[in-house]
Amino acid sequence: MIDVFFSATKKALGNITATYDTVWPTAVGLWNLRCLVNGVRKEYPTITEAELAAKFSLGSGIHGVNYKRAFGEHTWEQQQEKFAWILLNSTIPIFEEWLEELKRDYFHDMNIKHLQFPKKVKDEIDRLKKNPSTVLSNSFHSTYLGKRERCYSKIVALMHCYRVFKEARNCYMHNGSKADTKLTNAYAEYSPFATPEALDVSEVPEFPAPVLGEEIRLSLRGVVGFSYILIKILVSLDTELLCTANAEGEFISRYKEKHTLLRALKPDADKAKQQVSQYVRQCGFPTPLAVDDLILFLLSHHLVSR
């Protein structure tokens, strides 16, 4: 938990990792099955679907695979594109659920829609930070800023990238995978930001220019790159949102979950600071920088006693 503040963020990052842990072996397995099936069909051109199923599906519990269509009528590049859509349709909801969870648990007045648009994301974060938590900001913000992938200064560019892939997914779901004006407009607005410097990446996620009314071309490499963009968005927003008073609910909840008994602070000031730092680390947070402020916070919420 030390790399991110909110439990919801840790879960979202874990879900992205789990998605890849499923997709990559599946893609490799498909490639190997493709090689085997096409090898058999080359040596035995008259083999039937039933014989292919008996050879490759037996024991799997899976029925109805059309081997000739899957591996004879579709290229590996086409199948990779199918995987790209599967991956994109699995990844976008992770971010959306992250926002929903934060709103449900702590940020009840959060405008989720604004946090998905490049022209509104900073204004929404600034609005939420108008109700600040000095103790959390002073204790943790600079520590989290030093962690990997934080680049809130690039959040507008990152959200332009997000918007393109989100609109592509919307077209896949609602427009037969054909580009609409929302996608073409999003791509036009994103283009000036589609540089390694603007996105703080070594490689810009691949996304061919969409043509209005034509089928969207998606690459597996591009969606993989987008997933990294999404990780940067998640951790960057996480670090800014911890500075709000709403985030104190996360801190208190985790503290109470870990420390069910009311602990008394040691009379010696330095030992009390060490004590509180240890309690905080046990909750999955980094060592606090403003320990005196945090002691007062814990006392005021009856989480420790004198």
DSSP readout, the chain? -TT-S-HHHHHHHHHHHHHHHHHHHHHHHHHHHHHHHHHHHHH-TT--HHHHHHHHTTTT------HHHHHHSS-HHHHHHHHHHHHHHHHHHHHHHHHHHHHHHT-TT--TTGGGSTTTHHHHHHHHHTSB-HHHIIIIIHHHHTSTT--GGGHHHHHHHHHHHHHHHHHHHHSTTB--HHHHHHHHHHGGG-SHHHHTSSSPPP-PPP-TTSBPP--HHHHHHHHHHHHHHHHHHHHHHTTBGGGHHHHHHHHHHH--SPEEPPSSHHHHHHHHHHHHHHTTPPPPS-HHHHHHHHHHTTSEE-
CB contact set of 188 (below 8 Å; sequence gap of 6+): none
Which pair of tokens denotes residue 21?
Answer: 């842990």
Phi, psi (deg, nearest 5) at residue 177: 65, 15
Per-residue pLDDT, 154: 97
Q: Are 124 and 103 in contact (CB under 8 A)?
A: no
Per-residue pLDDT, 1: 56
Per-residue pLDDT, 64: 86
Phi, psi (deg, nearest 5) at residue 217: -100, 125
Alpha-carbon span 207 to 217, nearest angstrom: 8
Phi, psi (deg, nearest 5) at residue 304: -140, 170
| Dihedral angle of Cα 53, 55, 58, 63, to the nearest 10 degrees | -10
Q: Are 16 and 231 in contact (CB under 8 A)?
A: yes
Alpha-carbon span 136 to 247, nearest angstrom: 8
Q: Are 234 and 95 in contact (CB under 8 A)?
A: yes
CB contact set of 236 (below 8 Å; sequence gap of 6+): 149, 150, 151, 152, 154, 155, 158
Per-residue pLDDT of the chain (306 residues; tens, 9 = 90+): 569 999 999 999 999 999 888 888 888 998 999 999 989 999 999 999 999 889 998 888 888 889 888 888 889 899 999 999 999 999 999 999 999 999 999 999 999 999 999 999 999 999 999 999 999 999 999 999 988 889 999 999 999 999 999 999 999 999 999 999 999 999 999 999 999 999 999 999 999 999 999 999 999 999 999 999 999 999 999 999 999 999 999 999 999 999 999 999 999 999 999 999 999 999 999 999 999 999 999 999 999 998
Using the Cα atoms of residue 106, residue 112, residue 116 and residue 119 in order, give the sign of their dihedral.
negative
Q: Are 298 and 276 in contact (CB under 8 A)?
A: yes
Q: What is the pTM of this model?
A: 0.92
Per-residue pLDDT, 73: 85
Per-residue pLDDT, 72: 85
Q: Which residue has the tokens 């039933």?
A: 50
